[in-house]
Amino acid sequence: MLGLGLTAIEESAVFAPIIVYFTILATNHTLTQFINQLMGATGILDAFSSLINDPAYSLGLTVLIVSIVVAVILIGIVGGGFVLSAEYGTYLDAWSQTSVSIGDVLENGRRGWKRTAWTLLLTDIVTWSPAIVGVAIFLLFAPRPAPGVISPSDVFLILTYEVIAGIFIIASLILSIFTIYSVPASVIDQVSGPSAIARSFHFVAKNFRVTFTYILVRLIFQALSFFLLLYASSIGLPLSSLGTVVLSLLLTPILHSTKAMIYSYGRPSEAEMPFELFDPIWHDIGRRLPRVAWRKVRLGLSEIGRFLASPRNLPFHILAALAFALGIWLGEYVSANGLLPLFNVQPGMINPIVASSFGPALGIDIFANNWLVSISTGMAGIGFGLPAFQTILFNGFIVGAIIPALDLTHLLSLILPHGVIEIPSLVLSGSIGLKLGWAALNSKLNPSPENKEFLSLTLRQTVYVVIGLAPLFLIAGIIEGNITPIIMRWFGWTG
């Protein structure tokens, strides 16, 4: 779940500057021209070239792009160091202890984030530098002949540079095999940077078959998931968000813990791992997982009740509601001043994807998407609260952006049936995220035992609140996929 929170923090670093930039353009009455140039371009590169060379937008776009790139890289490195240190450290604790507390997870993150972040940065540089160099060589030196006038020599040069770029990309893929254990080495052996990478290289060289088997299994699972979701979508069963839930909350932890176990028990200093046969994991997933999940959901619903009942949490509820309201206001303002064509809203026409999809499957996928957003929003609070605020604001922005395109009847029939459950649930995830941010800030500014304990308790509460929101989003998703389209047609929507 911390990984989902990190994703939300990275997304906030992308969307917050974009919203600010669009708002500035709307205030200056230049947003309409900006959107027209963007939509009139023949492709992304053409649009970027046109806008970046326009004196009216070049400075602002440069500042926007640089700020986004720098922020995302810093968040990915620093946040990734914390999340991966907490994750792999927790695996180690789980193998040697009967239970692991939320406080242990946080402590693992605090203790090793610098070491892991440095290792993660250096690993990415070592692994992907050849690919970047190869692509750069192709983009900078390969000829760009005009359509219809390409010569045999141009074809030969283009193919040559493609081969060169391909060689560099293959080199990066090979390096990715040998650096696969860098982060586990950093956490397990408590080394960093070059030492962790060197240990990963040495381990892969000594245990290449098991490493290759792990990579092959991982690729098979990911490819199988992709093609199953692609096939489901082709027959009207949109389940991409459900697949993301399974991948993020089940498959990825299993694969990461397996990788950590391979490295931990495969080192020469470790005794040979005992080999015992047990029943396949699918028995536990089929029999025990539903019971455990329902038990956690009940605890989550109880935690939601306690969170809402406490007067101390009222400021967080108010701030989350204000964030959503501010997002609606900004979205409506920016949309009315030039952004609306970008959304391609057709008043009175139901989205063809909704109209052609199997209702129950669509409802399940909507539930999975909204629940993932709520998990990300709540857990993003670990970034001192601001990403949770921005995520709620962005969701309000999207709602506000479609308001100028619809009359009140169409708008209410589109949002109200499921929104009476979905919107308060989303705001609630933002509220608990803001509380987590307050706890994280207190712990950072004053790292006393009391504040650290408060942060651990708040993180535990956040986990259970977002788990407890699952049945609410399930109900809202089923309504949105099956009942909302019927109500929309009652009030004049077609399709």
Whole-number pLDDT of residue 269: 61
Whole-number pLDDT of residue 285: 62
At which residue do the structure tokens 């692994």 appear? 127
Whole-number pLDDT of residue 12: 86
Contact 119, 195 (CB under 8 A): no
Q: Return the number of other C-beta atoms located less than 10 Å from residue 323's C-beta.
A: 23
Q: What are the tokens at 300?
A: 């989550």
Whole-number pLDDT of residue 423: 93
Residues 375-394 have pLDDT tens digits of 889 988 888 888 899 999 99
With 0-12 / 13-18 / 19 or more C-beta atoms within 10 angstroms meaning exposed / middle / buried, residue 133 is: middle
For helices 386-402 and 314-334, give the axis angle rounded to 10 degrees: 40
pLDDT greater than 70 at residue 279: no
pLDDT greater than 80 at residue 486: yes
Residues 12-62 have pLDDT tens digits of 888 888 899 889 988 988 888 888 777 776 666 667 777 777 777 788 888
* Ordered alpha helix ranges (H), 142-193: 152-178, 182-188
Contact 469, 300 (CB under 8 A): yes
Q: What percent of the chain has pLDDT over 70?
A: 87
Identity of the amino acid at 484:
T
Contacts 24+ apart (CB under 8 A), 420-426: 421/472, 421/473, 421/475, 421/476, 421/479, 422/370, 422/472, 422/473, 422/476, 422/480, 423/324, 425/370, 425/374, 425/469, 425/472, 425/473, 425/476, 426/324, 426/370, 426/373, 426/374, 426/377, 426/392, 426/395
Residues 8 and 437: their CA atoms lie apart, in Å, by 14
Q: Return the number of other C-beta atoms located less than 10 Å from residue 130's C-beta.
A: 19
Q: How do the domains of the chain map onto residue ranges?
A: 285-490
pLDDT tier, 236 (very low <50, low <70, confident <90, very high otherwise): low
Contact 22, 400 (CB under 8 A): no
Half-sphere exposure of 84 (CA within 13 A, CB side): 27
Spell out a b/e string for 80-91, using b for 16 or more CB atoms within 10 Å of the CB, else e.
bbbbbbbbbbbb
pLDDT greater than 70 at residue 412: yes
Residue that wins the pLDDT comparison between 49 and 122:
122
Whole-number pLDDT of residue 280: 61
What is the average pLDDT across 141-163?
76
Whole-number pLDDT of residue 178: 92
Whole-number pLDDT of residue 319: 95
Q: What are the tokens at 232?
A: 């489901």
Residues 264 and 256: their CA atoms lie apart, in Å, by 12
DSSP one-letter code for 405: G
Mean pLDDT of the chain: 83
Q: What are the tokens at 122?
A: 């250096």
Q: Is the dihedral of CA 105, 108, 111, 116 positive or negative?
A: negative
Whole-number pLDDT of residue 436: 92
Whole-number pLDDT of residue 324: 94
In the chain, the N- to C-terminal Cα span, in Å, equals 38
Strand ranges inside 429-470, DSSP E? none
Q: What percent of the chain has pLDDT over 90?
A: 24
Identity of the amino acid at 202:
H
At which residue do the structure tokens 């993180």 appear? 459
Whole-number pLDDT of residue 489: 84
> What are the C-alpha distances in Å from 495 to residues 116, 237, 330, 348, 355?
52, 18, 30, 8, 6
Phi, psi (rounded to 5 degrees) for 395 = -65, -35
Residue that wins the pLDDT comparison between 423 and 250:
423
pLDDT greater than 70 at residue 183: yes
Identity of the amino acid at 129:
S
pLDDT greater than 90 at residue 327: yes
